[in-house]
Chain A
Amino acid sequence: LAKTTQPISMDSYEGQEVNITCSHNNIATNDYITWYQQFPSQGPRFIIQGYKTKVTNEVASLFIPADRKSSTLSLPRVSLSDTAVYYCLVGGNQAGTALIFGKGTTLSVSS
């Protein structure tokens, strides 16, 4: 699995857009980029996954530049309930492989 680097923490206010960037310089050709969200005392949950360009769903958008050495998770108009830890994972088409989680980015949203 490719090594990833993301900020330890970020602060925001309700209604703002939050962008969390993850660096993955050693990403391989068949690697996907996946983001998970974890609330306190709960298990992580899948947010979004992408390979290149842009992916959007009802929760977030994922922007991936052409060189794929980084990616940005974008949360539109955050609310207090978006306060959580966000993890960036990079890996290939290896179903059944254990996910490796770093410390993630702790997002704190204030009113």
Chain B
Amino acid sequence: DGGITQSPKYLFRKEGQNVTLSCEQNLNHDAMYWYRQDPGQGLRLIYYSQIVNDFQKGDIAEGYSVSREKKESFPLTVTSAQKNPTAFYLCASSIGDRGRLGYGYTFGSGTRLTVV
């Protein structure tokens, strides 16, 4: 079955350490996205990529970095510069060259990052 996989599901990090969250999709989607969700809040966009080797900052990119070397993969690194990294992180993908906004977007099951 096609889908989008995020790993790990739970992640603990010490303050001052960088950590990388994995996101892999086998849907042949062109576009991929990273969101952050805090308790009781909506999703906020961190980074997105519409094509391999290209990505754009979202609303809250500071303290995060991404790469898009392969179509299937869009890893997110939470750096030590991110002041409050404890949150639920969601990765998504979508068809990049057709379709209506909001249709055909697939989300992963998320990674819950806790800084200890």
Chain A residues at the B interface, C-beta cutoff of 8 Å: 1, 31-32, 34, 36, 41-46, 49, 87, 89, 91-104
Contacts and interface: CB of A to CB of B under 8 A. Distances in A.
The 3 closest A-B pairs by CB, nearest first: A43-B107, A34-B102, A91-B101
A94 B110 contact: no
A96 B110 contact: no
A57 to B, nearest CB: 12
A95 B96 contact: yes
Interface of B: 30-31, 33, 35, 40-45, 48, 50, 58, 88, 90-92, 94-105, 107-110, 112
Residue among B97, B99, B107 with most chain A CB within 10 A: B107
Chain A facing B: main interface SS: loop
Q: Most chain-A Cβ atoms within 10 A of its Cβ — which of B31, B35, B105, B110?
A: B105
Contact of B102 (A42, A43, A99, A102): A99
B42 A89 contact: no
A103 B100 contact: no
A104 B50 CA distance: 26
